[in-house]
């Protein structure tokens, strides 16, 4: 039995694998949460743009201003074209995806009473 090697100990290998895998799992979880926050913010901007456009279509500027104030840090621009009132809303997302600008547009018939 001259060619046999002594058994190699596996002690500590699970700890090393856990230490390597934990940051990967944490990164995936943070990315998932940040993605959910990003989608929520985009949906909120779309809702605000639509609400503000409908309010401005009824000449209700107070409701439009209140809707636009619901999203902190958002900027808006109102356009009137072809009988429509369109509101473009842009807001910065938070978290790791803060470099992606979020935009939403809502249009409604103008001149309503």
pLDDT value of position 90 = 94
Name the 3-class secondary structure at 44: helix
pLDDT value of position 79 = 93
Q: Facing residues of 105 across strands? A: 88
For the record, the structure tokens of 111 come out as 């001149």
pLDDT value of position 112 = 63
Work out whether strand 102-109 and strand 84-91 pair parallel, antiparallel, or are unpaired: antiparallel
- pLDDT tens digits for the chain (113 residues)? 556 665 666 666 778 888 889 999 999 999 898 888 888 888 999 999 999 999 999 999 999 999 999 888 889 999 998 889 999 999 877 777 778 889 999 999 987 65
Predicted TM-score (pTM) above 0.75: no
d(CA 102, CA 45): 8
d(CA 53, CA 60): 10
């Amino acid at each position: 039995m001259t060619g046999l090697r002594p058994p190699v100990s596996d002690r500590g290998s699970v700890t090393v694998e856990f230490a390597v895998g934990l940051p990967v799992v944490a990164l995936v979880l943070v990315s998932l949460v940040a993605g959910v926050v990003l989608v929520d913010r985009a949906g909120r901007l779309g809702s605000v743009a639509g609400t503000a456009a409908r309010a401005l279509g009824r000449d209700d500027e107070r409701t439009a201003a209140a809707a636009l104030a619901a999203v902190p840090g958002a900027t808006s621009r109102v356009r009137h074209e072809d009988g429509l009132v369109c509101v473009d809303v842009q807001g910065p997302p938070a978290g790791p995806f803060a470099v992606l600008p979020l935009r939403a547009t809502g249009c409604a018939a103008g001149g309503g009473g």
